[in-house]
Amino acid sequence: MVTSTNGFGFNSNYSNTSDRPAGVPMSENKDMFTKLLVAQIRNQDPLAPSDPATFVNQLSQLSQTEALENMTQTTAASAAMLQSLQVLTMGGQVGSLVSVETSRVELGDGQIKGSVRLEGASTLTHVILTDVAGKQTKIELPPHGIGGQEFTIDPAKLGLPPGKYSIAAESSDGTKPAIEVNGRLNSVRLDASGGILMQVAGVGDVEPGWITGFHGKNNSADLAFTN
C-alpha cells in the first residue's frame, strides 16, 4: 500500500484492494480515489509541492489493482463454467458401471462385486466388512499374485442385513491393500459448496477423484451384481 500525504495532512490509502471498504465496488472506489487525488493536488502546499511521480505511481497502482480484480472475476467465471461442463460430461455417464476406490459400502438385497489391489503376492487375503455396531464379517480369498483379485459380497449368503458397512482388506503379509467396488452410477450433482458428487449404487456419494474406471452401459452381466 502507498500512502501519500499533502501539506494539510491528507492521506490517500486506496492503492491496495484489501484497503477498500467491504462491499464497495471497484468502480465506485476508483471514482472516490480520483476525487481525493484531485483534491490532494489542488490543496498541496505551494512552497513544498508533491512530486508528480508520486501521483503517477498511485494511479498506476490503482490501475494494476483494478486489472487484478478483473482477472480474478474472469478466472472465477471460467472455473464455474468448467465445473458446469464437468457435471454435464459426467452426467452423460449416468447408468454406466463404474469402479470406485472406497472404504465403505451400502448393502441391500443384491450382490456387490469388487477387487482387492494387491501390491504383492498373497497366500491368503481377507475382505473385512464391519457394521455400525463393530461386528466383523470376513470373506476369505485364495492365494493370488500381484494385481487385482476379484471378490463378491453376497449379503444373503453371509447373513448380512441391509445397511452401511466399512470395508477393508488384509493380505497375508499384514498389509492393507486398496479396495475397488463396482456399482452403477445413478446420478451426478453439485453439493452445497459447489463440489461434484457422484451417487454410486452400493457405495453412496463419492467425489470424482475416487472413480477409478468407467465400464460402459448395458453391461447386464456386471450390473446384475450391483444394488
Q: Are 125 and 116 in contact (CB under 8 A)?
A: yes
- At 192 the pLDDT is 80
CA torsion, ordered 99, 100, 101, 104, to nearest 10 deg: -130
Q: What is the mean pLDDT of residues 99-108?
A: 96
- Arithmetic mean of pLDDT over the chain: 79
Burial class (CB in 10 A: 0-12, 13-18, 19+), 96: middle
Domain with CATH 2.60.40.4070 in the chain: 97-223
Kindly state the average pLDDT of the residues 170-174.
94
Quick: pLDDT tens for 6-24: 443 444 444 444 444 445 5
Please count the other Cβ atoms lying within 10 Å of the Cβ belonging to residue 219. 13
Is pLDDT above 80 for 202?
Answer: yes
Task: Judge whether residue 227 has pLDDT over 60.
Answer: no
What pLDDT, on a 0 to 100 scale, did the predictor assign at position 220? 46
**Buried/exposed 136-170: b ≥16 CB within 10 Å, e otherwise:** eeebebeebeeeebebebebeeeebeeeebebbbb
The pLDDT value recorded for residue 218 is: 66
Q: What are phi and psi of 91, to 5 degrees?
A: -60, -30
> Which CATH architecture is the domain 97-223 placed in?
Sandwich (2.60)
**DSSP string computed for 15-69:** SSGGGSPTT--HHHHHHHHHHHHHHHHHTS-TTSPPPHHHHHHHHHHHHHHHHHH
- Number of Cβ within a 10 Å radius of residue 85: 10
Across the range 81-93, mean pLDDT stands at 64
Strands (E), the chain: 4-5, 11-12, 97-101, 104-107, 112-118, 125-130, 136-141, 147-153, 163-170, 178-190, 196-200, 204-206, 211-214
Q: Is 46 exposed, middle or buried (0-12, 13-18, 19+ CB in 10 A)?
A: exposed
85 vs 178, more confident: 178
Query: Between these two residues, 115 and 222, which has the higher pLDDT value?
Result: 115
pLDDT tier at 201 (50, 70, 90 boundaries)?
very high
Burial classification of residue 129, based on how many CB atoms lie within 10 Å of its CB (0-12 exposed, 13-18 middle, 19 or more buried): buried
